[in-house]
Structure 1
Amino acid sequence: LKAGGAAEEKEKLRRTTEARLKFLRAVIGGTASAKEAEMVVLDLLLRVGGIAGRERPNSAKLDEYLRGVELVALWMALVKPPPSLRYKVCLDLLNAIDEGGAEKSTLALTALTWEDRSILKEKLVSFEFGATPSGRKVAAAVLERLNDHLLINYGEGMPEINAETRVEHVLPVKPVVKYWDNHWPDEEDRAQWVHRLGNLVLLSRRATAKEKNGTFTKKKERYQEEVWPLTISVSTCSEWKKAALEEQQEKLLGLCEVMWCL
């Protein structure tokens, strides 16, 4: 049993590290303000390869290092600090790695100051992910990472992002059916929430304009057939009103807090 448990933990760690690297590739590749984080990832790859005399981290240390880099990359993507500050944070992160900063999971706790961590948490709540193409790229990366986190804990396989994968607004940006006017009669509420992370779901196939703008009853039929657990969970809601969206937003933020020590 002990041997089996150790093997399961090893596989879970491997899959988590893989998910972290996917997230970093998506955020760094899709967001100009997160490019500096690439230097830390490259340094870690050199260490893993035993190149340039760097200490080779074990699997647990590597995973914790990457957790710290994830946090920093997300902060860069959403907060958009000036280049000089981004560069400084990355150098501080590299110095912490040199000093073995992943002991007892401290790197994810020290990668950012508590003030920066608080600002990031506020951005996760208020950032209008769905308003721009770059914002939707970050949303797709975050949602995939959160879904992967759940799937790894469930012991299930992780779907791959492909050309058909899309982020969809549950409450449409420009509703064309009366259903949404009835369920979201306040235009200010609609404008405030439509682009928030809690109103976005990950889909494994491209939806038609009619599907994207349809009623929630119709959307649920598609969502419950999805491979992503957080999308499936939205399909269990009876209605998609402000209270349901706020609850989903809190759920996503809670997962972010656990994963990145916010």
Structure 2
Amino acid sequence: MLTGNLNNKLHLNKAFTSVEHILLQKPSAPAWNISEEQHKEWLHRLGNIVLVDMKKNASLSNSSFLDKRHKYSSYIEGRANTNHVFITYLQWNVGTIQQNHTRVVNLLKSYYTGNSLQSFKELKKKLIVPTAAPVLA
């Protein structure tokens, strides 16, 4: 949602949205060439998940990345990150998951820099201008 159009209303309707693991929770060879250790490490990372319409997620099912990418090529998704993944990456493996993970983490860091409670309190202090003491006549 952070990478979407600024004019779009940002909201998440859980009734219609689903988390899609691009690398499947139970991958089958040869479509997914990944070790069990790498699978366990990268499955639930931000770089491997996107938000999709629940109906689309059901249709994507346990497909290979190329099948998912092909199915998604006919959709225009309202979620910019999802579009980025399916448009940008031609293959999906540990290297591309790591690359996408780094991109998403950096995006979140840049968005939230300065949005901590501490920086909020500091900003609030700067914005509160003390009023002058009343002058007694």
| Same fold? TM cut 0.5 | yes
Does the Cα contact within 8 Å between 1:159 and 1:227 map onto a contact in 2?
no
| More strand per residue | 2
Does the Cα contact within 8 Å between 1:152 and 1:158 map onto a contact in 2?
no
- 1:203-235, Cα deviation, whole Å (9 max, x unpaired): 022323x72211111111344422211001111
Residue 211 of structure 1 aligns with which residue? Answer: 60
Residue 4 of structure 2 aligns with which residue? Answer: 151
Residue 255 of structure 1 aligns with which residue? Answer: 107
Does the Cα contact within 8 Å between 1:199 and 1:245 map onto a contact in 2?
yes
Counterparts of 1:51-70 in structure 2 under 5 Å? none
Q: How has the CA–CA distance of structure 1 residues 223 and 235 changed in structure 2, closer, same or farther, with 3 Å as cutoff? A: same
Q: How has the CA–CA distance of structure 1 residues 162 and 188 changed in structure 2, closer, same or farther, with 3 Å as cutoff? A: closer
Question: Structure 2: how far apart are the matches of 1:197 and 1:160?
Answer: 17
Residue 129 of structure 1 aligns with which residue? Answer: none
Runs of 4+, deviation exceeding 3 Å: 155-160
Counterparts of 1:83-102 in structure 2 under 5 Å? none
The answer to whether structure 1 residue 170 and structure 2 residue 22 are counterparts is yes
Counterparts of 1:160-239 in structure 2 under 5 Å? 160-176=12-28, 178-180=30-32, 182=33, 184=34, 186-206=35-55, 207-208=57-58, 211-224=60-73, 225=75, 226-236=77-87, 237-239=89-91
Q: How has the CA–CA distance of structure 1 residues 166 and 258 changed in structure 2, closer, same or farther, with 3 Å as cutoff? A: same
Does the Cα contact within 8 Å between 1:204 and 1:227 map onto a contact in 2?
no
Question: Structure 2: how far apart are the matches of 1:194 and 1:235?
Answer: 17
Does the Cα contact within 8 Å between 1:161 and 1:204 map onto a contact in 2?
no
Letter paired with 1:164 = F
Question: Over aligned residues, Cα RMSD in angstroms?
Answer: 2.2
| More helix per residue | 1
Does the Cα contact within 8 Å between 2:31 and 2:64 map onto a contact in 1?
yes
How far off its partner does 1:192 sit?
0.7
Larger Rg, first or second structure (1 or 2): 2
Residue 15 of structure 1 aligns with which residue? Answer: none
SS at match of 1:227: coil
How far off its partner does 1:196 sit?
0.9
Gaps in structure 1 of 5+ consecutive residues = 1-146
Gaps in structure 2 of 5+ consecutive residues = 115-137
How far off its partner does 1:241 sit?
0.8
Q: How has the CA–CA distance of structure 1 residues 156 and 221 changed in structure 2, closer, same or farther, with 3 Å as cutoff? A: farther
Question: Structure 1: how far apart are the matches of 2:28 and 2:11?
Answer: 32
TM-score, normalised to structure 2, is 0.69
- 1:86-109, Cα deviation, whole Å (9 max, x unpaired): xxxxxxxxxxxxxxxxxxxxxxxx
TM-score, normalised to structure 1, is 0.38
Letter paired with 1:178 = P
- 1:98-143, Cα deviation, whole Å (9 max, x unpaired): xxxxxxxxxxxxxxxxxxxxxxxxxxxxxxxxxxxxxxxxxxxxxx
Does the Cα contact within 8 Å between 2:17 and 2:51 map onto a contact in 1?
yes
